[in-house]
Amino acid sequence: MKKNLLYLFIFCFITPLGASAQFETFKDSVVQLYGVVMTADSLKGLPAVSVVIKNQNRGTITNDRGVFSIVVLKGDKVEFTSVGYKPVLVDIPKDLAGNHQSVIQLMVADTVYLPATIIKPRPTKQQFERDFVKTNVPDDDITVARQNNSTATRRLLMATLPADGREASTQYLRQSSQKLYYSGQVAPQNLFNPFAWNEFIKAWKRGDYRKKN
C-alpha cells in the first residue's frame, strides 16, 4: 500500500513538470511573423497578397497597405503569392532568437506574353455578299452517305477492297464444290460459251482486270 502511494506521489509530481517543459518548448518555437509586402519597382504596398504556410491549410492576406501578421513555427516555409507577380518562398530559421520576426517582402512583376490579336475592319456589304457566295460549305452527313452508296463508289470498293472472311469462305466452298462435282471427269471448257464471254466482257468494262495499286 505504501509502495503504491509512493508511485502515485512520484507520478503526480513528475507529470506536471514534463507537461510544463513540453509547453515551454512549444512556446519557444512559436513566432509572430509580421511585415509589409511591396512592389519591387515602385515600393508601394501590395494589397490582397496571399501569405500561406507551405503544406498547411493556414494563411492570411495583406490589407490595403500591404501589411500582414501571422503566427508560424520555427522551421516553417511561408509563401507569398499574388496575381501578376512571381511567388516568393521565405524560410523561418529554426535557430531564430526570440518569438517575433518582421519582414519586408518585395514582389517582382511576372511578365506574361499573350498571343497577338489581329483586329480587322468590318467588311462592307459587297465583300460580305461575295465571301458568302464563295464560301465552300462542306457536305452534311446525308450527302456523304449518298455519295458513299452510289453505284460508282460501290463498284470501286468491290474492285479494290479485299474479300472479307465471309466472302473468302464462300468462294472457297464454291470452288471446292465445283471441283468435287467434276471429280473423275474432265470439266467443261467455256471457251465457246457465249454466256461466259458475255460475263467476261462486262467484267472487262467494269475494270475488274485492271492493275490494283
Q: Is residue 43 part of a domain?
A: yes
End-to-end Cα spacing for the chain:
107
Q: What's the CATH code of the domain at 102?
A: 2.60.40.1120
Does the pTM surpass 0.85? The reply is: no
Cell of 168: 473468302
Name residue, grid cell 464454291: 174
Residue 74 resides in a domain: yes
Examine residue 123 and state whether it is found in any structural domain, yes or no: no
Q: Which residue range forms the structural domain that includes residue 93?
A: 28-107
Q: For the chain, what is the domain count?
A: 1
Among 202, 208, 201, residue whose Cα is nearest residue 161? 208
Query: Does 95 map to a domain?
Result: yes
Q: What is the pLDDT along the chain (213 residues), one digit of tens a residue?
A: 544 555 455 545 455 444 454 435 556 789 999 999 999 998 999 999 999 999 888 999 999 999 999 999 999 999 999 988 999 999 998 888 888 889 999 999 988 777 888 888 878 888 888 888 888 888 888 888 888 888 888 888 777 878 788 888 888 888 888 888 877 777 777 677 777 788 888 888 877 767 655
Among 94, 99, 60, smallest CA distance to 77 is for: 94
* CA dist., res. 107 & res. 42, Å (int): 10
- Sort 145 into a burial class: Cβ within 10 Å, 0-12 / 13-18 / 19+: exposed
Q: Does a structural domain hold residue 14?
A: no
pLDDT of the residue at 203: 81
